[in-house]
Amino acid sequence: MSQTIAHPEASEVESSHGHHAELSFFRKYIWSEDHKTIAIQYLFTSLFFLLVGGLLAMGVRYQLAFPGVPVPIIGSFLPSWLVTSAGAIQPGGYNALFTMHATVMVFLVIMPLLIGVFGNFLIPLKIGAPDMAFPFFNALSYWLFLLSGIILLSSFFAPTGFPASGWTSYAPLSSHAQYNGTQIGQSCWCVGLFVNGLASIAGAANYITTVINMRAPGMKMFRLPLPIWALLITAFLLLLAVPVLSAAAAMLFCDLNFGTSFFSSSNYGQPLLWQHLFWFFGHPEVYIMIVPAMGLVSEIISVNSRKPIFGYKAMVFAMVAIGVLGFIVWGHHMFVSGMNLLLSATFSFSTMVIAVPSAIKTFNWMGTVWGGSIKYTTAMCFALAFVSMFVIGGLSGIYMAATPVDLFIHHTYFIVAHIHYVLFGGSLFGVFGAIYFWFPKMFGRMMNETWGKIHFALAFIFFNCTFFPMHNLGLNGMMRRIADPTQYEHLRSQQPVNIFITLSAFALGLSTIPFLINFFYSMFKGPKAPINPWKSTTLEWTVPWPTPHGNFETTPTVYHGPYEYSVPGMEEDYLPQNQPAPDTVRLAAH
Amino acid sequence: MLKQSSRTSLAFLAMVVLLLIASGVCGRAAVRTSDLWWMPEVASKGGVLIDKLTYFIYYLTGAVFVLTQVVYIYFLVKYRSRKGAKATYSHGNNRLELLWTGIPTAIFIGLWGYSNHLWWDVLHAPTPPDTMEVGVLAYQFGFSFQYPGADGKLGQSDVKLIGNDNIFGNDPNDPATKDNFQSSVLELPINKPVRVRLNSRDVIHAFYVPQFRVYQDIVPGRTIDWVWFTPTRLGSYQLACNQLCGSGHYNMKAQIEVVTQEDFDKWYKEKAAAAVIPAGNAPAQSK
Amino acid sequence: MHAPATTVHNEGPDIVRFGMLTFLASEAMLFSGLIGGYMVLRGGAGGGWEMPEALKNVETMVKTIVATLCLISSSFTLHFAESGLIKRGKGGKLLLLLTILLGAAFLTNQALEWASLRSEGFWFNTAGIMGSCFFVLTGFHGLHVLIGVILLITALIRALTGKVTPRQHGFLDCTGLYWHFVDIVWVFLFTILYIL
Ligand code: HEA
Ligand code: HEA
Ligand code: CUA
Ligand SMILES: [Cu+2]
């Protein structure tokens, strides 16, 4: 099959298209240009970063529950920018903790998990392509991503340590070393995000080119599985939003190191310019982190309800709408930043409007389970939970979209609750579901369902115990980003809640362990997976494992839409995309 | 298969119920306003209106949440896979799509109308004539305040003039500034509208008083003077900086005392006697 | 940089062009970000926006205009180089070399200009908001030109080693698109930084 894809002229890269046996270890595992291998590389790397980001979060939680209490055991080993001589986390160090927690989780965990892992793994397989359009840049993208991670975390060893001005790095705090006291860390932040951006852009251009140009015969746009639509739209968001952050990061870097005055309050610089540039990227960014999850979840729900997705086109248009509107709502992060009040009013309007497509998706998910024959696999549990958690996170978004209410809850734990319901209960639950769902195709073995259910139950319960009370904390006026709530009278009575949250957070962290064990055990010892364990209709389930380089023996032909389940008049309850419908049955859609 | 799936579906149901209870708890808490579970008692005129809106959204979203989740969970249990039972074959229904696009759109636009109306009324309504203006300077890591002094006028100020010997950037040529006096506590008379003139001398800080339902970032290089409110409850509160501003952010705060008009006048006289802001007693230079 | 060739599956060079165009959309947003920032800052600065003598004087103006003409004409030379190498399958190598030289000329001029500005005490940190914008914008663009020149040199080498043929020219195509893009960006920057 390699011959069928390798271009006659691409002689100088023939090797990369040869059969596995021909590949050197280096070409196979290190600099692999096979999208499947790259996906796995992304998977391991970002799971590692999840542990890093999570442990940072544990530090955050520890400090909030036990401010000023030396960290047991490890406390004395931590660097002096982070802890006092007694080993207690100090305020500056706390700022560094949540700054890197968020930066890691957003740029090194959620984005690569959703886009790097599932984008790479699923796009060619689902559209019936031999590989990505630009395998070289695909590999490059992974290594740039890893490099950015190293740059970001390397500042741990700088004498002044991690950057500490929040993942939003508001200037002039971030742009003046004498204010933030972490010149090296903050510079690493700028460079790291710039490199990370290059990786994202390389990936995005690659995905768009691939999906537009390399679909198998018969794979019309409206026959694309929803994850592919989601990833395509996400790729456009990345392509247009990320470079703006790169530009801003570059300006910030110059302010910080070359004494330019873009964001400084003197010399006619404008602190708010940073916020506008950051959030112009930042809001599309948050949709970048949810839309792919929506796509993955839609498919998992449809497959496990043995039912076509409800309102396929509505789902697609909703995601397109989210993508487009996502570019005109950034100001809702700046209602009370000193921005023109009229702008706040308009941004409030667009923010209300952008909630509509999410509503549409929610109702269509409900429509999909309606009348289904639901199989409660672990993947399905996570997918179903995603919907509920996303609704909670979304509804809390409505509070903030109302400017006067935001006036009260801006920068409180209400926001923190919102963040985590959409990003953890949303994005990360989606990722977990997707891992359980596609694991068989990635590693050729099944994950253990019982342990999966245990992981789900623990994660679901402790996630809610951790983050639901944060809504109340926020409404009680607990500010975010403060190292020691007990400094404030109106917050002292909250300490019990903070302690409860922290204990739940530890449990939530530990709940990841059954997952990790299950994951690695199943990789080697799990039962061998049949070619199509979930009786799924999409193309990736038609290829054997290990999937050869080039994926398909012969390019498949697609005859109908992706979710033809329980078609009346067929004894099998699913009709793969590459099988024409028997003349006896009529399909209800495209 | 059947047993297994129904068991897990019920387990799932149990968990979501658990969640509904969790939200129910604060539903009840909404009734009794103990600090531990609900918003600090409102202490300003505008705050009352904001709370109304907050509650409106609370009940709206609460209803939406309960409705959607109850239906959802009902489906999840009713349609769990059973022997023989086959899923309905449906690709959707355009009428429904229109319905659940239209209704939320209407709700959201309506909600925007309500909240936006309030936005202007709370923030953009012209300040009443008897409004007292107070200057606020935020710096790493603290606040200081200046009062109009005897003449009741703060006078002109300009961020460009802010420096160690003129921390509020008062315009020296404006006589109204001469008798301004400085305070480290924000002393406020009850039921009297007060407008704050916000300045920062280093990074972005914030003016946040949860009990007043007031938040505004204080941006260096700019003067923000559109924030005003009317305290309605006697007592002491804490002004919190709620914008990350460095290692000292976590306890950058100031005392707010809402007192009766009499007490305020007394305090004001004493302070005014000391008159002009003594040069040099600037806040610790931000490192 | 041989990558694009690996990607020429069955679709031929078109897919490579498509990919490059997508990437350039992203590049466009990068400069939009910078130029947007420039507009906001300049709008806000009002009188604080001083154009330094060093930039206003006739000599610099003339030099910059010449450099600009170099860059613009290089787009044309490249165009004909391409049509030579791709359409007719012969010639064009010299034009490609000429393009490189024009690009190099532009870079040299910019380097000299930066040097002279610096010698007159006009630098990132000493030139107010105008300086911040000037150096970062021209710096970013200069970097792109530099990369462009390197790509062009690579393309020339490929041409000389017979790797650019009417049937295989993905790399040259991309380099071309990229070069034209960098060119257009400069027209914008020249207008907003020197003229307006
Ligand atoms: C995955 C990420 C994600 C997603 C999907 C969202 C979705 C939304 N977000 Fe969120 N947001 C963040 C991530 C995300 N957000 C982050 C990280 C921050 C903090 C950044 C920082 O400061 O650090 C933030 C901050 C943030 C703010 C700024 C708050 C502040 O700083 O003061 C606002 C304000 O408007 C907001 C609003 C919204 C809205 C309206 C939605 C909507 O899209 C939600 C729409 C969904 C629903 C509404 C639920 C389902 C719908 C129905 C069930 C239909 C019926 C409903 C009704 C009729 C009410 N978000
Ligand atoms: C992108 C996704 C994402 C994810 C998944 C998380 C996950 C978590 N977050 Fe995060 N968080 C953000 C994004 C995310 N966060 C963002 C954007 C902010 C804003 C930052 C800012 O203000 O700038 C934030 C801020 C934030 C705050 C507010 C800090 C502050 O404002 O002062 C808190 C506090 O509780 C918090 C807690 C947690 C916890 C307990 C988890 C847990 O879910 C983590 C659980 C996972 C693990 C623990 C790792 C895996 C398990 C192990 C390593 C083994 C076991 C280890 C132990 C038990 C020690 N986060
Ligand atoms: Cu000042 Cu936070
Ligand atoms: Cu947003």
Ligand 3 centre to CA of A232 (Å) is: 41
Among B196, B221, B217, smallest CA distance to B205 is for B217
Q: Cβ distance C109 to C63 under 8 Å? A: yes
State the pLDDT at residue B287.
34
State the pLDDT at residue B10.
58
> Tell me: the pLDDT tens digits for B174-219?
888 888 899 999 999 999 999 999 999 999 999 999 999 999 999 9
> How far is it, in rounded angstroms, from Cα B28 to Cα B31?
5
- Percent of chain A with pLDDT strictly greater than 70: 96
C143: confidence class by pLDDT, cuts 50, 70, 90 = very high
Name the DSSP class of A485.
G
State the pLDDT at residue C56.
81
**Ligand with the closest atom to the CA of A419:** 1
State the pLDDT at residue B5.
53
Establish whether the linkage from the previous residue to A253 is cis, with ω within 30° of 0.
Answer: no
> How far is it, in rounded angstroms, from Cα A473 to Cα A268?
39
Q: Chain B within 8 Å of A466 (Cβ-Cβ)?
A: no
> Closest to A479 (Cβ–Cβ): which among B71, B240, B246?
B240
Strands, sheet with B235-240, edge to edge from the N-terminal-most edge strand: B186-189, B253-259, B235-240, B205-209, B214-218
Number of C-beta neighbours around residue A224 at 10 A: 25
Please report residues of A whose CB lies closer than 8 A to that of C5.
7, 9-10, 12-13
Give the contacts of A51 (CB within 8 A, at least 6 positions apart): A512
A13: confidence class by pLDDT, cuts 50, 70, 90 = very low
Task: Average the pLDDT over each of A100-109, A428-437, C164-173 and give the range with the smallest value.
Answer: C164-173
Contact yes or no for B204 and A170 at CB 8 A: yes
State mean pLDDT over A2-15: 35
Cβ(B240) to ligand 3 under 6 A?
A: no
> Closest to C18 (Cβ–Cβ): which among A209, A242, A267?
A209
Q: Could you tell me which residue, B122 or C108, shows the higher pLDDT? A: C108
> How far is it, in rounded angstroms, from Cα B217 to Cα B207?
6
- Pairing of β B253-259 and β B186-189: parallel
Cβ(A500) to ligand 2 under 6 A?
A: no
> Tell me: the pLDDT tens digits for A451-493?
999 999 999 999 999 999 999 999 999 999 999 999 998 888 8
B25: confidence class by pLDDT, cuts 50, 70, 90 = low
Name the DSSP class of A566.
S
B221: confidence class by pLDDT, cuts 50, 70, 90 = very high
A22: confidence class by pLDDT, cuts 50, 70, 90 = low
A503: confidence class by pLDDT, cuts 50, 70, 90 = very high
> How far is it, in rounded angstroms, from Cα B168 to Cα B199?
8
Question: Is a pLDDT exceeding 60 seen at residue A348?
Answer: yes
The tokens for A321 are 């709408």
First to last CA, chain C: 38
Q: Chain C within 8 Å of A13 (Cβ-Cβ)?
A: yes
Q: How far is A190 from chain C (nearest CA, A)?
A: 15
Rounded alpha-carbon distances, angstroms, from residue B157 to B161, B185, B198, C46: 8, 21, 11, 20
Burial A534-573 (b: 16+ CB within 10 A, else e): bbbbbbbbbbebebbbbbbeebbebbbbbbbbbbeebeeb
> Tell me: the pLDDT tens digits for A140-188?
999 999 999 999 999 999 999 999 999 999 989 999 999 999 999 999 9
Q: Chain C within 8 Å of A1 (Cβ-Cβ)?
A: no
Cβ(B245) to ligand 3 under 6 A?
A: yes
State the pLDDT at residue B69.
95
Question: Is a pLDDT exceeding 70 seen at residue B27?
Answer: no
Amino acid at A487: Q
The tokens for A457 are 């139950």
C50: confidence class by pLDDT, cuts 50, 70, 90 = confident
A374: confidence class by pLDDT, cuts 50, 70, 90 = very high
Q: Cβ distance A473 to B36 under 8 Å? A: no
State the pLDDT at residue A18.
41
Question: Is a pLDDT exceeding 80 seen at residue A521?
Answer: yes
> Closest to C33 (Cβ–Cβ): which among A140, A243, A270?
A243
> How far is it, in rounded angstroms, from Cα A521 to Cα A543?
24
pTM value is 0.93
Contact yes or no for B22 and A468 at CB 8 A: yes
ipTM confidence: 0.91
> Closest to B251 (Cβ–Cβ): which among A338, A487, A573?
A487
Among A480, A304, A458, smallest CA distance to A380 is for A304
Cβ(B243) to ligand 3 under 6 A?
A: yes
The tokens for C10 are 């069955």
Q: Chain C within 8 Å of A538 (Cβ-Cβ)?
A: no
State the pLDDT at residue B28.
46
Ligand 2 centre to CA of A468 (Å) is: 14
Please report residues of A whose CB lies closer than 8 A to that of B215.
336, 407-408, 410-411
Do chains B and A have 3 or more beta-carbon pairs under 8 angstroms? yes
State mean pLDDT over B159-179: 88
State the pLDDT at residue C60.
87
State the pLDDT at residue A355.
95
The tokens for C81 are 């180089």
Mutation target to probe the A interface, by most A beta carbons within 10 A, among C11, C26, C122, C189 is C26
Cβ(B249) to ligand 3 under 6 A?
A: yes
> Tell me: the pLDDT tens digits for C91-137?
788 999 999 999 999 999 999 999 999 988 888 888 889 999 999 99
Cβ(A481) to ligand 2 under 6 A?
A: yes
Question: Is a pLDDT exceeding 70 seen at residue B35?
Answer: no
Residues 62-121, chain C, touching A (beta carbon < 8 A): none
At B215 the three-state DSSP class reads strand
Can you tell me which residue has the tokens 């609750």?
A417
State mean pLDDT over B76-89: 88
Contact yes or no for A479 and B75 at CB 8 A: no
Among A264, A427, A4, B119, smallest CA distance to C124 is for A264
State the pLDDT at residue A264.
92
As a whole number of Å, the CA-based R_g of chain C is 19
State mean pLDDT over C139-158: 95
Q: Chain C within 8 Å of A522 (Cβ-Cβ)?
A: no
State the pLDDT at residue B223.
94
Ligand 4 centre to CA of A351 (Å) is: 8
Burial class of residue B25, CB neighbours in 10 A (0-12, 13-18, 19+): middle
| A8: Cα separation from own chain's centroid | 38
Q: Chain A within 8 Å of B116 (Cβ-Cβ)?
A: yes
Q: Chain A within 8 Å of C9 (Cβ-Cβ)?
A: yes
The tokens for C178 are 């990229």
Contact yes or no for A133 and C32 at CB 8 A: no
The sign of the torsion formed by the CA atoms of C165, C170, C173, C179 equals negative
Among C21, C54, C32, smallest CA distance to C127 is for C54
First to last CA, chain B: 68
- Pairing of β B235-240 and β B224-229: unpaired
The tokens for A98 are 């949540």
Question: Is a pLDDT exceeding 90 seen at residue C10?
Answer: no
Question: Is a pLDDT exceeding 90 seen at residue B103?
Answer: yes
Give the contacts of B76 (CB within 8 A, at least 6 positions apart): A369, A374, A384, B9, B12, B13
Question: Is a pLDDT exceeding 80 seen at residue C8?
Answer: no
Question: Is a pLDDT exceeding 60 seen at residue B149?
Answer: yes
Contact yes or no for B15 and A176 at CB 8 A: no
State the pLDDT at residue A7.
38
Q: Chain B within 8 Å of A589 (Cβ-Cβ)?
A: yes
> How far is it, in rounded angstroms, from Cα A137 to Cα A129?
17
The tokens for A252 are 């910030």
> How far is it, in rounded angstroms, from Cα C9 to Cα A459?
44
Give the contacts of A282 (CB within 8 A, at least 6 positions apart): A168, A245, A330, A333
**Ligand with the closest atom to the CA of B250:** 3
Residues 31-50, chain B, touching A (beta carbon < 8 A): 35-40, 47, 49-50
Cβ(B233) to ligand 3 under 6 A?
A: no
Question: Is a pLDDT exceeding 80 seen at residue B283?
Answer: no
> Tell me: the pLDDT tens digits for A547-589?
988 899 899 999 999 999 999 888 888 999 999 988 888 787 6
Question: Is a pLDDT exceeding 80 seen at residue C88?
Answer: no
The tokens for C25 are 């959309």
State the pLDDT at residue C46.
83
Residues 158-187, chain B, touching A (beta carbon < 8 A): 159
> How far is it, in rounded angstroms, from Cα A161 to Cα A170?
18
